[in-house]
Amino acid sequence: MRKWMTRFLILIVALLAIIYLSADRDMRRLFANLPTDTEVLFWSIAQRDAGFRVMDRIPLLIKANVIESGDQSLPLTVGQPLDIAFDIDAYLQDQRSAAVIILQDGEIRLERYGLEFGPEGRWTSFSVAKSFTSTLVGAAIRDGYITSVDDKVSAYIPDLQGSVYDDVSIHQLLTMTSGVQWNEDYEDRNSDVARFNNHQAEPGVDATVSYMRTLAREAPPGSKWVYKTGETNLIGVLVSSATGKSLASYLSEKVWKPFGMGQDATWLLGSTGHEISGCCVQAATRDFARFGLFMLGGGVVNGTAVLPDGWIARATTTQAEIGVDGHGYGYQWWTYDDGSYAARGIFGQGIFIDPARKLVIASNSNWPRATEREALDPQRMAFYRAVQAAVDAEASPP
């Protein structure tokens, strides 16, 4: 018996060695820093450095749907380097940046990588995916699957009937003004955002829906803004319910293939098999930048509008006040008083879009903490402003 066990252990070690030696560099990095659970918010910096580039390939822990790209990719030509009055090297180091790409008037004006990441890799988006999800609501309205943002949420998600969401409209979900109580503290293991993805759902009920229908109301619908990742997950369930399609396949159909994304992307799945729509699209940074170009172009692909008339204007201007001067919230987009807007994700992910300057800045990072409101977030905004100033200086030379 002892000899058999010894041979079995030798076999297991040999198999693991073969897997390790045949893995690419990113997977080897993951094996050296392998997380033991899916609690990403509480991984170490080294685990996140390793994991963020292979979230859709972590064995046994996470599953994903593929967002298929097409045969033709939208070319990104390289223009003259933009003269930015900013220490780019120090910025990349401070931000722990994996990638920064600046597109201006459709050309690459700056493209830099760090953390041993490169243009061929995919990095996870976190809440940048929220803006993708809200865009799919617009597409579903254009396609006739959803009648109006004024419809009640429970009309599309029957399992929410009888909960506080009976009184909540799609518009109020999009703008985070449902009035439903929620805790989005990323460093509290007992917060809603830390608990809801691991909720044990009733048989036949989506995990997010099962959790969200137990929540209580703290304010009348439409009266209070509170950031809630769980509600973006509800939006994703709503879109899938209305269209009869997975979010990954619908995003591929409406944007990823026809607009010309360069690579397949993936969307991570929750415990009951639905995309985690408030989070977790893995894509090349250039394709995050291409999504910015899709928005700059008015949501038009090959001359055909993907979104309803006026959708982008409504989605990217302030629909809800968030208590910060000059900042607001649209349809899952962060808005600024100068007309720019952004998709933002924890640990430093972002797509910043400035229509007036035909400017897109896509970035991926691994900040030391999920949010860095006192240091790295203001530094990133200062970088955005420096890029805007550089574009203005080119347009109006002294």
CATH of the domain at 150: 3.40.710.10
Residue 78: inside a domain? no
Same domain, 55 and 100: no
Whether the predicted pLDDT of 99 surpasses 50: yes
Residue 150: inside a domain? yes
Between CA 100 and CA 110 the distance in angstroms is 8
Q: What is the pTM of this model?
A: 0.91
Same domain, 18 and 98: no
Residue range 292-346, pLDDT digits in tens: 999 999 999 999 999 999 999 999 999 999 999 999 999 999 999 999 999 999 9
Same domain, 219 and 120: yes
Which whole number is the average pLDDT over 263-274? 94
Same domain, 107 and 47: no
Same domain, 33 and 180: no
- Percent of the chain topping pLDDT 90: 80
Same domain, 249 and 345: yes
Between CA 144 and CA 129 the distance in angstroms is 23
Residue 106: which residues within 8 A CB-CB, separation 6 or more? Answer: 76, 77, 293, 358
Residue 237: inside a domain? yes
Q: Provide the residue range defining the domain that includes 16.
A: 2-62
Same domain, 203 and 317: yes
